[in-house]
Chains A and B, each alone.
Chain A
Amino acid sequence: MTVISHITCPVCGDFCDDIEVTVEDNVITDVKNACAVGAARFLNYATHRRTKPLIRKDGELVEASLDEAIRKSAEILADATYPLLFGWSSTSCEATRVGLELAEEVGGVIDNTSTICHGPSILGIQDIGISSCTLGQLRHRADLIFYWGSNPWDAHPRHIERYTMFTEGRFQRSTWRKYVSRLGGTVTEKRLQRTANLLLDHHPPTPIETGQGLPYTMFQKKRKMVVADVRKTRTAEAADYFLQVEPNRDYELLQAFRMLIRDGELDVEEVAGVPVELLEEVADVMIGCELGVFFFGLGLTMSEGRHRNIDAALSLVRDLNQYTKFLIMPMRGHFNVTGANVVFTWQTGYPFAVDLSQGFPRYNPGETSTIDILRRRESDAALVIGSDPLAHFPKKTAQNLIKNPLIAIDPELTPTTLMADVVIPPAYVGIEAEGTAYRMDHVPLPLKKIVDPPETCLSDEEILRRILNEVRRIRRKLN
């Protein structure tokens, strides 16, 4: 039995680096410090995995050797006129680097999953700029935490515990005691309400908490949390104040805040369903904090307005810095989506949606982004790594993806691998293979190898390197 500590968790953008695992006979038997999602990943990663490559022959996926699968993949990519290479957020930076080399060699479009999550954040940052920092700084200093369109309680389960409200910072105290006592009160209140409803057979609608003024905790010189979202999530329940925004009206609200923090007057009584008097109070709290941080998630990037919502949020933070210190950070999803952006940028100058078809990088989301290329049915082959677009893309784009040859590098049985023409199962990076990944605040951390992979499974980097070498061999032969 071996206990390995300081493992990084290859699940969400928080990329926790304090995981401890116990390994017995090359099997992970116990995990400490991880959240439920992380623990499930370490303990069950191999439950449904494939270990042998597959190739589609006569309409059926049949087992093949690794060499055969690599040769077939290289042939598909070398023949293509406009291939698409998508995924990259759940693999290591080293694999992404080889992927970019491959994209350049085959003259394809390479895009990572930012294109359907925080791509709008990147567009906003390119237009406005960003004032950001590392999570360590926030942990010690931030006294106002703003989550907008983000639910870390469920999506980044240890974010609040490690970096914001429930962490003991050097200059800011943890608020977990306050939360536990309030939770007790909330649970009792809910139970009483439920009992009353059952007895009276009466189901009153939940009142929206607006127009009631801010709670006293918002005016204390302590760490406080505000959540802005369209619905009351678990994170919102833990917040000092919840700002319920009408769906798709985030842009208006952010712009209204910008007006208010510079003492402007609004000619309306409410914005996005929130009374202006209340917004004025929240704006006062924002200006009055010592160090505020604005975390935003897909609730902002993928609601109506998209990158313009981020444009407004970044401008708001920029404006707030005239009065106090305020920072902003996107809540990145996959454990290495930030790394994919970093490696893309360092290699090509652009963070996602890079078109290398003419031998030099071009970037224009809307034109060179995966969803748009597939919607217009422009690509004629695709390689997908560490992603399941068929399960997540809009129907038409998913249909167009499988009309052309598809290569999937993924150990799981997913809709994408089931519809692919070549499936190559790799070793799990961060469990069976080492590498590097970037946390959501752009801090690079190592991915460790904990157990040995099956003999037939190579790392993503090695698989891509072999495909690249094979493509080069085919090209040399043709020339």
Chain B
Amino acid sequence: MIILTPKRSFTVPVGGECISPDTFAAKSTSEMANLPVWEGNKKRALGHLFRIELKTAPSESLTIRIRGDAGRIRRIGAKMSSGRIVIEGNAGMHLGEEMNGGAITVVGNAGSWAGSRMKKGTIEIKGDAGHYIGAAYRGSNKGMNGGAITIYGNAGNEVGCFMRKGLIKIHGDVGQFTGIHMKNGTIYIGGDSEVRAGAQMLGGKIVVLGRIPSILPTFTIDDIKSRVKIDGEKVEGPFYRFLGDLAENGNGKLFISQKQNTHLTPCERFL
């Protein structure tokens, strides 16, 4: 296990791309300390910003543990393919960007774009997360393409934007435009959702257990289902099933809790 402890708090953004089991593998502590890190416009060595302790010999599935606040450190675990990262505080933006395997656990909160464009692996966030979880890069239409993200707190807007595959589970509330432009995959929301869930979706599944203020006019009610399956696990309903987004000729499915959304009862007349 490698333990990284920040030597001081950071004000300007720090590029943490090198904090990845793939980069640390087969490196000595001094080699790790010499890895380049950008702090704003200053190029520093990792050892200049962090105290590095090596508890065991590095191996393919090594664990990196960050002790302290990493809220300003961006792209931790970017492109990692194996091993494990545990952050004992907050994590900055782009956590696990383009991740291809392994696992990341954040004990605190995570910034926006966590798991953006990830392909494999798991991300677990015990606190809240920002916007664009599992999303695409600006201007790209290729979001998350596999793996699983679990958030125990709340998340912001555009969760799963341009998502293609994989699972995002949020136990708290989410903002607007959940699953916008999504093509496939599953988004589960344990809490409430703001409006416009599933906007412009082409496929995939969004499940909302809590309340949603309204459904987009471009969705049509299709059925009432007693339960829904998420990653092999059955979640008891009943759920309204809406299909859309019809403005995009989409075939996405929106499962909305019937009990929590009595204001949607008038939709039942179209069944």
How far does the alpha carbon of A363 sit from the alpha carbon of B248 in the complex, in Å?
28
Query: Is B216 within 8 A of A304, CB to CB?
Result: no
A76-129 with Cβ < 8 A to chain B: 80-83, 106-108, 123, 126-127
Query: Is A258 within 8 A of B141, CB to CB?
Result: no
Nearest-CB residue, chain B, relative to A272: B217
Instruction: Assess A268 versus B217: contact at CB under 8 Å? Given A308-B177, A308-B199.
Output: yes
The stretch among B36-44, B59-67, B164-172, B252-260 that forms the contact with chain A is: B36-44
Query: Is A256 within 8 A of B41, CB to CB?
Result: no
What's the nearest-Cβ distance from chain A to residue B129, in Å?
14
Query: Is B138 within 8 A of A364, CB to CB?
Result: yes
Cross-interface CB contact of B40 among A81, A264, A305, A308, cutoff 8 Å:
A81
Query: Is A259 within 8 A of B139, CB to CB?
Result: no
How far does the alpha carbon of A271 sit from the alpha carbon of B132 in the complex, in Å?
27
A266 contacts across to B, CB distance below 8 A: 217-218
A53 within 8 A of B: no
Q: Mark B241-255, 1 if CB is under 8 A from A, else 0.
A: 000011110000000
B139 contacts across to A, CB distance below 8 A: 123, 126-127
Instruction: Assess A255 versus B218: contact at CB under 8 Å? Given A304-B176, A305-B196.
Output: yes
How far does the alpha carbon of A255 sit from the alpha carbon of B270 in the complex, in Å?
20
Query: Is A252 within 8 A of B217, CB to CB?
Result: yes
User: Which residue of B13, B137, B220 has the most chain A CB atoms within 10 A of its CB atom?
Assistant: B13
A378 contacts across to B, CB distance below 8 A: 11-13, 72
Cross-interface CB contact of A127 among B42, B72, B141, B247, cutoff 8 Å:
B141
A267 within 8 A of B: yes
Cross-interface CB contact of B216 among A107, A108, A255, A377, cutoff 8 Å:
A255
Instruction: Assess A259 versus B196: contact at CB under 8 Å? Given A82-B12, A82-B41, A358-B15.
Output: no
B200 contacts across to A, CB distance below 8 A: 255, 311-312, 315
The count of A-to-B residue pairs whose CB atoms sit within 8 angstroms is 101
How far does the alpha carbon of A80 sit from the alpha carbon of B200 in the complex, in Å?
43
Q: Mark B1-36, 1 if CB is under 8 A from A, else 0.
A: 000000000011101000000000000000000000
Total chain A interface residues with beta-carbon distance under 8 A:
38
Query: Is A255 within 8 A of B217, CB to CB?
Result: yes
Query: Is A267 within 8 A of B267, CB to CB?
Result: yes
B122 within 8 A of A: no
Q: Mark A352-392, 1 if CB is under 8 A from B, else 0.
A: 00000110000111110000000001111000000000000
How far does the alpha carbon of A267 sit from the alpha carbon of B141 in the complex, in Å?
29
B87 contacts across to A, CB distance below 8 A: none
B197 contacts across to A, CB distance below 8 A: none
How far does the alpha carbon of A271 sit from the alpha carbon of B218 in the complex, in Å?
10
How far does the alpha carbon of A453 sit from the alpha carbon of B68 in the complex, in Å?
56
Query: Is B40 within 8 A of A107, CB to CB?
Result: yes
Query: Is B245 within 8 A of A255, CB to CB?
Result: yes
A326 within 8 A of B: no
Nearest-CB residue, chain B, relative to A359: B41
How far does the alpha carbon of A82 sit from the alpha carbon of B93 in the complex, in Å?
17
Cross-interface CB contact of A358 among B38, B176, B199, cutoff 8 Å:
B38
Interface of B is mostly: loop
Instruction: Assess A255 versus B138: contact at CB under 8 Å? Given A308-B177, A357-B40.
Output: no
A251 within 8 A of B: yes
Instruction: Assess A106 versus B217: contact at CB under 8 Å? Given A305-B176, A367-B93.
Output: no
Query: Is A81 within 8 A of B42, CB to CB?
Result: yes
Query: Is A259 within 8 A of B13, CB to CB?
Result: no
Instruction: Assess A259 versus B131: contact at CB under 8 Å? Given A271-B217, A364-B138, A378-B13.
Output: no
Query: Is B40 within 8 A of A252, CB to CB?
Result: no
User: Which residue of B12, B93, B177, B220 has the most chain A CB atoms within 10 A of its CB atom?
Assistant: B12
B225-271 with Cβ < 8 A to chain A: 245-248, 267, 270
B221 within 8 A of A: yes
Query: Is A81 within 8 A of B247, CB to CB?
Result: no
Query: Is A81 within 8 A of B12, CB to CB?
Result: yes
A283-324 with Cβ < 8 A to chain B: 304-305, 308, 311-312, 315
B112 within 8 A of A: yes
Interface size class of B (residues with CB under 8 A): 35 or more
How far does the alpha carbon of A379 sit from the alpha carbon of B39 in the complex, in Å?
12
Query: Is A251 within 8 A of B270, CB to CB?
Result: no
How far does the alpha carbon of A365 sit from the alpha carbon of B139 in the complex, in Å?
11
How far does the alpha carbon of A357 sit from the alpha carbon of B74 in the complex, in Å?
14
Query: Is A107 within 8 A of B41, CB to CB?
Result: yes
Instruction: Assess A267 versus B40: contact at CB under 8 Å? Given A255-B199, A380-B11.
Output: no
Query: Is B138 within 8 A of A126, CB to CB?
Result: yes
How far does the alpha carbon of A364 sit from the alpha carbon of B217 in the complex, in Å?
31
Query: Is A256 within 8 A of B13, CB to CB?
Result: no
B137 contacts across to A, CB distance below 8 A: 364
What's the nearest-Cβ distance from chain B to residue A226, in Å?
20
B12 contacts across to A, CB distance below 8 A: 81-82, 378-380
Cross-interface CB contact of B218 among A107, A258, A379, cutoff 8 Å:
A258
Query: Is B13 within 8 A of A82, CB to CB?
Result: yes
Cross-interface CB contact of B247 among A106, A108, A258, cutoff 8 Å:
A258
Query: Is B138 within 8 A of A357, CB to CB?
Result: no
How far does the alpha carbon of A80 sit from the alpha carbon of B38 in the complex, in Å?
14
Q: Mark B123-141, 1 if CB is under 8 A from A, else 0.
A: 0000000011000011101
What's the nearest-Cβ distance from chain B to residue A89, in Å?
21
What's the nearest-Cβ distance from chain B to residue A251, in Å?
6
What's the nearest-Cβ distance from chain A to residue B199, in Å?
7
B245 contacts across to A, CB distance below 8 A: 255
How far does the alpha carbon of A264 sit from the alpha carbon of B138 in the complex, in Å?
31
Query: Is B38 within 8 A of A357, CB to CB?
Result: yes
What's the nearest-Cβ distance from chain B to residue A104, in Å?
10
How far does the alpha carbon of A305 sit from the alpha carbon of B181 in the complex, in Å?
14
How far does the alpha carbon of A267 sit from the alpha carbon of B214 in the complex, in Å?
13
B91 within 8 A of A: no
Q: Mark A240-275, 1 if CB is under 8 A from B, else 0.
A: 000000000001100110110000101110010000
Query: Is A264 within 8 A of B246, CB to CB?
Result: yes
B118 within 8 A of A: no
B208 within 8 A of A: no
How far does the alpha carbon of A259 sit from the alpha carbon of B132 in the complex, in Å?
27
What's the nearest-Cβ distance from chain A to residue B177, in Å?
6
| Additional A-B contact list (9), CB under 8 Å, known A251-B199, A357-B38 | A80-B41, A126-B139, A252-B216, A255-B245, A259-B247, A308-B177, A308-B199, A315-B200, A379-B12
Which residues of B approach A to under 8 Å, CB–CB?
11-13, 15, 38-42, 72, 74, 93-94, 112-113, 131-132, 137-139, 141, 176-177, 180-181, 196, 199-200, 216-218, 220-221, 245-248, 267, 270
Pairs of residues from A and B, 9 with the lowest C-beta to C-beta distance, nearest first: A107-B41, A126-B139, A81-B40, A82-B40, A82-B12, A258-B247, A357-B41, A255-B247, A255-B218
What are 6 inter-chain pairs, A to B, with CB distance below 8 A?
Answer: A82-B13, A127-B139, A304-B176, A311-B200, A378-B11, A378-B13
